Structure 1
Amino acid sequence: MAGNSFSTATAGTAVDGYFAQVTHQPQHVVERRLQQSIQQETTPITDVAPKLRTRQRLLRGLSRMSSSSSLTSTGRTRSSSTPLPKSGASASCMNLGNSSSSMVPSPLNGGHSAFAFSPLVSPSIPGTPIEALSPACSTPTQPFPPFPHSKSFNDVCKGNQSSIDLRSPVSRPMDMTRALSMPLPCPKPKKTFAQLWDSLPHEVQVHTFRQLRPKEIICLSRVNKKFHKLCFDGQLWTTFDASEFYQEIPVKTLAKIMISAGPFVKNLNLRGCIQMELYQDALLMASACNNLVNANLEGAFIESEKVKELLRRNQKLAHINLTGLTCVYNETCFTLAEHCTQLELLNLSWCRNTTAIGVQTVLRSCSKLRDLRVGEVIGFDSLDVAKTFFETNRLERLVMSGCSDLTDSSLKAMLHGIDPQIDLLTDRPVVPPRRLRHLDLSRCTRLTDRGVASLGYCVPNLEGLVLSGCATLTDRALEPIFASAPKLSHLDLEDLVELKNELFSKCLAKSDCAKSLKHLSISYCEDVGDAGMIPVFRSCTNLRSVEMDNTRVSDLSLTEAAAMVRTRASRAIVRADRPYIGLSLTVFDCPNISQTGVREIMTRNAEMLIPPQSESAGAGFASLYQCSAEIISLKCFYGWQMTVDEHTKRIMRGHLAAANRLQRKWADYIQATEEANAGGANGRRRRRRAREARQVHADEEAAAVGTGLGMTIGRRRARTATCAIM
């Protein structure tokens, strides 16, 4: 009896554990719910008190089980050691409390076998009928979900033996209907890539395709119909820049993209698309775009009618570039002035079929025009056109490069108007100041000092002035400009051969624009030397670029530039910070520049600055990177340029020791070369030393620089210069 009780408790606990797995609930929750079900459905038994299973009774039962003659086998039985059969019927659990209980097979799930458990009765109540316990227990046995094939029933029982309550008075009957109503969990099938992609929102798919290059998008359009439709979606081409890929895709595909994405395109760039000239649907392609804001047609071969159609359909156009188009005429400018009134930038440079009359029409109609570029456009000698420029007074950038028709009278009319009122005290015209900030008058060969000087005291907001190529200008044309333009930052005076040192030393260095000047070009100003540039380097401390090629400057100007950078430069406090180029100097073809000035620049770039006392007293001084954060980029004589570039690369990488070694070996080579050229009694020995020094310097330049400070990757040759004694 004790053995039957133990087996009953074990089976009941195992079934509870299995139901806990099926319902995905903890085992103690299932046990508690089953106990509540027993209390509600079973008839209470009050006539016979149940016998409690004590420790002594359990031991006696185990002793009887071991002495029984029917249990001669010491191992597990076949039914408990083998997995469940896949077909046929199996024996259900018996009512161990009644001798009339029998094992009744029960087919489950249409031929599949499993254990169907009948209600279990405590062995302390023999002879109790099953119907007396609960009306629900008299119903036919319900099918029970099978155990998983990976575990046998005995394995489930063994896994739950630790949770058997041996002190329980009765074994628990179960509510089979409630348990079997719960569906078995089934694994969800994994979704394929196509299913995952289709489940994404359309906006996410478009955003994903935007991360690809245009050529890759065109290749993806051949995958399937869905990808083809998505690749030609207009939302994907709001910015259409064909200048990067127009040579990689066919013109038909290019036109198809524009036709399908036309209403969505806002930024259109067809720069250089020459294959569109012979395409028959180019007019349809131009008419498809009707929401353009920025359009760049520079170099594209498009017919005049197609350009007009494009302008008519895009009234929100703000920036348009028609540089170099032969199909642009004055009629095109009239269409532009009529339909594109929101225009802010217009570039008609090198449009040889356009004249100043068309530009005048656009200037009158487009009230928001701020940037006008009309390089090499003819007809600006007209005073009527110049009067329109004066009356509108809206332009902030005016580029008239190469306008050979521009004269002094027309330029004065643009700035002062026709017959302005003259102030008797200052002898200056009384006119509103111009809004110009950038003015390009390069290669306007008919301008003289009289016309350029009219810019003085008229353009107070001027920041950029380009006068290169106006060879007739002298100091008198620039003196009033320097005195009245305090915001001047870019000054290009290339090829002005009449300029002198006094203009820079007395006017530019002492003017209000000295502190704001950043870029200065005096190339081919052959009369300018150290007398003019040294005061400029001392006063203009914010210079970032200076071009002085083909001038008379010498090593003194380079030394002064290095001193200016040394004064304004800051040190990099941490090692991760690398130097950057703060000043660019161009001094090639300057006969007075020698290797002494070049070495001064190289020394300045690689010098170690002395840290402040507060930093040297700190504990972390060893981790400081004491190189200057600002260095000088130098363009010098072509024979020295390779050494200077390699030295600059090593400084930029932080390899100060390697840079110093390169500088030292180059100095030895220069010195040996100069001695060899001097001649004398020991000329042969000096030439040999020069060859050896040249070879050592070549090996140093060819050494590959590593990542560590002053370390090199690879192995340099063990070649050194000749001993001084020998």
Structure 2
Amino acid sequence: MAEVQTIQDDDGLGSLPPSPGLSGSGTQTPTYSRENLEIVPEGHGQQKKKTRQRLLRGLQRISSSPTLVQLGRSRSQSASSRLGAGPGAYSCVSLAPTQPTSFGQPSAISGSYFDYSGAPTVTPGTPFAITPYETPGYEGFGNVLGVRKVEAAAAAAAAATVSASIALPANVRSRRRARQLWVDMPHELKVHIFSYLQPKELVRASRVSREFHKMCFDGQLWTCLDASEFYQEIPADSLAKIIAAAGPFVKNLNLRGCVQVEHDKRAEVMVKACRNLMFATLEGCRNFQKTTLHHLLKNNTKLCQLNLTGLTAVTNSTCKIVAQSCPQLEVFNVSWCKHMDARGIKTVVEGCPKLKDIRAGEIKGFDNTDVALAIFKTNKLERLVLAGCEELTDKALRTMIHGFEPEIDILTSIPVVSARKLRHLDLSRCNRLTNQGVQVLGHLCPDLEGLQLSGVTNLTDEALEPVLATTPRLTHLELEDLMNLTNSLLSEHLAKAPCAPILERLSVSYCETIGDTGMIPLLRACVSLRSLDADNTRISDLSLAEAAAAIRVRSPRRSCLQAKPVPGLSMVVYDCSHVTWTGVKEVLRSNAENTRNGLAEIIALKCFYGWQMTVDEHTKRVLRGDSLAATRLERKWADYMQANEEAGAVGSGGRRRRRRAREARTLHAVETQGDQAPQGGRRRAMTAACAVM
């Protein structure tokens, strides 16, 4: 940086810039003449005044700074060192570049100086103005006007003045206001805010402060403790502490899968703390001991739902304690409890008058007539799950529905008993049942909504005909693996049954005698069908085409164009030998057409695994509303399948057909997988035709 010096004569005539050729080492030193203000070289015989000598000494002192450049220091450093040396040198630093002199050194004068009137003059290129200020006079030099180097002093003084009253940042102010708002908030409102957090989030928030810890374990927040979502991430000690802290307030306890709960002090603490349970789920807690379980049941007399699925600690004595201690029980689930039998179920049925739901899958002893008679007498059961109870016989089932030796109506041959209130009945895998046992469900279960008979291999059409004719509310029907069912059951009975318009789910998988003859009338009659499992059957492409047509007829239009379609029917046609790619293509074409026409429903198809990738990609495009891309994928897949069939044909042109199949396969792979598609096949050279010939 170049330096700017100003000098004032003793007479106050003003400031003059020194000559660019001044130097303090071996150069001729000029002097200023008062009469004509000319520079007169020294040694011409003129009488030197004392004032001029002082001026020359000052000029020599000022002009010595250019020699410091040769020492390798910057201009600003030399100026600051000179200014700090004493009060005799006053200079100002300019940001403008220095100009070289005739002697090869940069000049000490650049850009700005003070004219004789004392006003600052700023030449072009000077980045800031220089303001003079007065300094006290020095002995032998007179009153010298100094210049301010920069305005840093004034800026520092102003900043010091402002810093005393500077405002807080906006985020700090908002944080203080939020903290004050939280302090002034009522306790009930704070608890209501924390009630929106999940148990796992409450535990994390309790680490923030003591206030948060106390509030996060407030009993009002732990009326429902569901550990099934995080049981793998929480140790038994922490879980026991949470339950012990909030135990008196817990009403819904779900410990499904918490195998870390063992019979020790932790389990005892949990059991003693929970005394107001209404819903308890201990499914999968295999380490729960019998004494701990019995203590829990005795301390909670308000239990309404109890799930003990798979517990080895459950025995008939456990069921006796439930019957004595839980009179409000409505749902009782003891499926897969191997150390008990149907006599425990009988005890609970007789001791819990409000019982509506019994789930006793794979429990032994249901061939006992006394147990069946107890179930008949209660007549309050709405759900009865006996899946896998292989000992269940026709006689026991008849006793559950008809009672023991009921009065028979002479005209209708129907027992004169009150209708059962069953809404869901699961008899899957009860292999000892026959047509005579299942027929008793007809005429006496009018409220039946779900019936599961999968795996009862001895059943035929004769067993289901009276049931379908007398269950107008049936929505779920599972007939999987019934080899003896025929098409007439679907076309003549189910399609014409009073439940046909409201039937939502039907499973006839592995019914190998079912074909298009029974399926097509069913698809036309069941307008509310949402799920159809027909894998390993004899249905063909005609059933798929009929399903596509049924969806087009019953599907409503979307409320707006931006709305996306949804699956209206889920079809499973695995391993159906008569289903070909043509039928699958028809479903894909119908889905794209429904989307293009603004319909709200499509078909979600599960088919042969070799085609499933294309079907899934097509369904994905349809669900996001891109019917053009779906149509393009369907067309290329059809070209590939057709070329593949032609390639396997016998006759001339086989090589050409195989090449077309490879090209179609490549195009289809690119459309389905994009850049990740494998580039198969041989690459042939492209030769151009001869232009001359």
Question: 1:21 maps to what in 2?
Answer: none
The one-letter code of the counterpart of 1:283 is E
For residue 252 of structure 1, report the CA deviation from its aligned partner. Answer: 1.0
Task: Indicate which of 425, 429, 433 corresponds to 2:415.
Answer: 429
Question: 2:194 maps to what in 1?
Answer: 209
Distance (whole Å) between structure 2 residues aligned to residue 385 and residue 200 of structure 1:
59
Question: 1:439 maps to what in 2?
Answer: 425
For residue 279 of structure 1, report the CA deviation from its aligned partner. Answer: 4.1
User: Do the aligned partners of 2:284 and 2:311 also contact (CA within 8 Å) in 1?
Assistant: yes
Question: 1:687 maps to what in 2?
Answer: 658
The one-letter code of the counterpart of 1:459 is C
The one-letter code of the counterpart of 1:488 is L
Describe the superposition over 1:686-719 as per-residue Cα deviations: whole angstroms up to 9, x where unpaired. 1111111111111111249xxxxxxxxx9999x9
Equivalenced residue count is 513
Describe the superposition over 1:357-378 as per-residue Cα deviations: whole angstroms up to 9, x where unpaired. 1111111121111111010111
Question: 2:317 maps to what in 1?
Answer: 331
For residue 569 of structure 1, report the CA deviation from its aligned partner. Answer: 1.1
Question: 1:262 maps to what in 2?
Answer: 247
Q: 1:276 aligned to 2:261?
A: yes
Distance (whole Å) between structure 1 residues aligned to residue 659 and residue 410 of structure 2:
77
For residue 685 of structure 1, report the CA deviation from its aligned partner. Answer: 1.5
Describe the superposition over 1:663-700 as per-residue Cα deviations: whole angstroms up to 9, x where unpaired. 11001101110111114221111111111111111111
| Residues 546-625 of structure 1 aligned to structure 2 (within 5 Å) | 546-607=532-593
Question: 1:398 maps to what in 2?
Answer: 384
| Residues 451-470 of structure 1 aligned to structure 2 (within 5 Å) | 451-470=437-456
Distance change (3 Å), C-alpha of 1:189 and 1:604? closer
For residue 635 of structure 1, report the CA deviation from its aligned partner. Answer: 0.5
Distance (whole Å) between structure 2 residues aligned to residue 455 and residue 443 of structure 1:
17
Task: Indicate which of 271, 276, 280 corresponds to 1:291.
Answer: 276
Distance (whole Å) between structure 2 residues aligned to residue 675 and residue 288 of structure 1:
75
For residue 200 of structure 1, report the CA deviation from its aligned partner. Answer: 2.8
Distance (whole Å) between structure 1 residues aligned to residue 283 and residue 559 of structure 2:
47
Question: 1:640 maps to what in 2?
Answer: 611
Question: 1:419 maps to what in 2?
Answer: 405
For residue 568 of structure 1, report the CA deviation from its aligned partner. Answer: 0.8
For residue 653 of structure 1, report the CA deviation from its aligned partner. Answer: 0.5
Distance (whole Å) between structure 1 residues aligned to residue 605 and residue 659 of structure 2:
31
For residue 638 of structure 1, report the CA deviation from its aligned partner. Answer: 0.5
The one-letter code of the counterpart of 1:217 is L
Distance (whole Å) between structure 1 residues aligned to residue 660 and residue 530 of structure 2:
40
The one-letter code of the counterpart of 2:598 is C
What is the RMSD of the two structures over their aligned residues, measured on CA atoms? 2.5
Distance (whole Å) between structure 2 residues aligned to residue 573 and residue 401 of structure 1:
43
Distance (whole Å) between structure 2 residues aligned to residue 282 and residue 358 of structure 1:
25
The one-letter code of the counterpart of 2:628 is A
Describe the superposition over 1:207-240 as per-residue Cα deviations: whole angstroms up to 9, x where unpaired. 3333334334323333433332223222221110
| Residues 61-210 of structure 1 aligned to structure 2 (within 5 Å) | 191=176, 196-210=181-195
Task: Indicate which of 351, 354, 363 corresponds to 1:377.
Answer: 363
User: Do the aligned partners of 1:370 and 1:394 also contact (CA within 8 Å) in 2?
Assistant: yes
The one-letter code of the counterpart of 1:656 is S
User: Do the aligned partners of 1:676 and 1:690 also contact (CA within 8 Å) in 2?
Assistant: yes
Question: 2:72 maps to what in 1?
Answer: none
Distance change (3 Å), C-alpha of 1:204 and 1:414? same
For residue 278 of structure 1, report the CA deviation from its aligned partner. Answer: 5.0
Q: Per the alignment, in what secondary structure is the counterpart of residue 244 of structure 1?
A: coil
The one-letter code of the counterpart of 2:512 is E
* Unmatched runs of 5 consecutive residues or more in structure 1: 1-148, 151-187, 610-624, 705-713
For residue 290 of structure 1, report the CA deviation from its aligned partner. Answer: 1.1
Q: Per the alignment, in what secondary structure is the counterpart of residue 526 of structure 1?
A: coil
For residue 509 of structure 1, report the CA deviation from its aligned partner. Answer: 1.3
The one-letter code of the counterpart of 2:560 is V
Task: Indicate which of 657, 669, 672 corresponds to 1:701.
Answer: 672
User: Do the aligned partners of 1:264 and 1:291 also contact (CA within 8 Å) in 2?
Assistant: yes
Question: 1:362 maps to what in 2?
Answer: 348
Distance (whole Å) between structure 2 residues aligned to residue 190 and residue 696 of structure 1:
60
Distance change (3 Å), C-alpha of 1:451 and 1:190? closer
The one-letter code of the counterpart of 2:618 is H
Q: 1:248 aligned to 2:243?
A: no
* Unmatched runs of 5 consecutive residues or more in structure 2: 1-160, 163-172
Task: Indicate which of 483, 499, 509 corresponds to 1:497.
Answer: 483
Describe the superposition over 1:426-447 as per-residue Cα deviations: whole angstroms up to 9, x where unpaired. 1221111111010000000110
User: Do the aligned partners of 2:670 and 2:677 also contact (CA within 8 Å) in 1?
Assistant: no
| Residues 540-551 of structure 1 aligned to structure 2 (within 5 Å) | 540-551=526-537
The one-letter code of the counterpart of 1:230 is M
Q: 1:350 aligned to 2:336?
A: yes
Describe the superposition over 1:469-496 as per-residue Cα deviations: whole angstroms up to 9, x where unpaired. 1011111110110111111111000000
Describe the superposition over 1:150-181 as per-residue Cα deviations: whole angstroms up to 9, x where unpaired. 9xxxxxxxxxxxxxxxxxxxxxxxxxxxxxxx
Describe the superposition over 1:280-300 as per-residue Cα deviations: whole angstroms up to 9, x where unpaired. 221121121111111110001
Distance (whole Å) between structure 2 residues aligned to residue 256 and residue 368 of structure 1:
34
Q: Per the alignment, in what secondary structure is the counterpart of residue 281 of structure 1?
A: helix
Question: 2:144 maps to what in 1?
Answer: none
Distance change (3 Å), C-alpha of 1:605 and 1:189? closer
Task: Indicate which of 638, 663, 672 corresponds to 1:667.
Answer: 638
User: Do the aligned partners of 2:217 and 2:246 also contact (CA within 8 Å) in 1?
Assistant: yes
Distance (whole Å) between structure 2 residues aligned to residue 470 and residue 331 of structure 1:
32
User: Do the aligned partners of 1:700 and 1:716 also contact (CA within 8 Å) in 2?
Assistant: no
Distance change (3 Å), C-alpha of 1:213 and 1:675? same
User: Do the aligned partners of 1:400 and 1:441 also contact (CA within 8 Å) in 2?
Assistant: yes
User: Do the aligned partners of 1:380 and 1:386 also contact (CA within 8 Å) in 2?
Assistant: yes
Question: 1:219 maps to what in 2?
Answer: 204
Distance (whole Å) between structure 1 residues aligned to residue 658 and residue 669 of structure 2:
16
User: Do the aligned partners of 1:215 and 1:249 also contact (CA within 8 Å) in 2?
Assistant: no
Distance (whole Å) between structure 2 residues aligned to residue 459 and residue 189 of structure 1:
66
For residue 326 of structure 1, report the CA deviation from its aligned partner. Answer: 0.5
| Identity %, equivalent residues | 56
Q: Per the alignment, in what secondary structure is the counterpart of residue 429 of structure 1?
A: coil
For residue 566 of structure 1, report the CA deviation from its aligned partner. Answer: 1.3
Q: Per the alignment, in what secondary structure is the counterpart of residue 444 of structure 1?
A: coil
Distance (whole Å) between structure 2 residues aligned to residue 684 and residue 607 of structure 1:
36
User: Do the aligned partners of 1:390 and 1:416 also contact (CA within 8 Å) in 2?
Assistant: yes
Distance (whole Å) between structure 1 residues aligned to residue 508 and residue 303 of structure 2:
39
Distance (whole Å) between structure 2 residues aligned to residue 447 and residue 418 of structure 1:
18
Distance change (3 Å), C-alpha of 1:417 and 1:560? same
Q: Per the alignment, in what secondary structure is the counterpart of residue 576 of structure 1?
A: coil
Describe the superposition over 1:629-673 as per-residue Cα deviations: whole angstroms up to 9, x where unpaired. 110111010111111111111111110100100011001101110
Describe the superposition over 1:338-390 as per-residue Cα deviations: whole angstroms up to 9, x where unpaired. 11111111111001111111111111121111111010111111111111111
Distance (whole Å) between structure 2 residues aligned to residue 393 and residue 642 of structure 1:
50
Describe the superposition over 1:121-143 as per-residue Cα deviations: whole angstroms up to 9, x where unpaired. xxxxxxxxxxxxxxxxxxxxxxx
Distance (whole Å) between structure 1 residues aligned to residue 598 and residue 643 of structure 2:
30
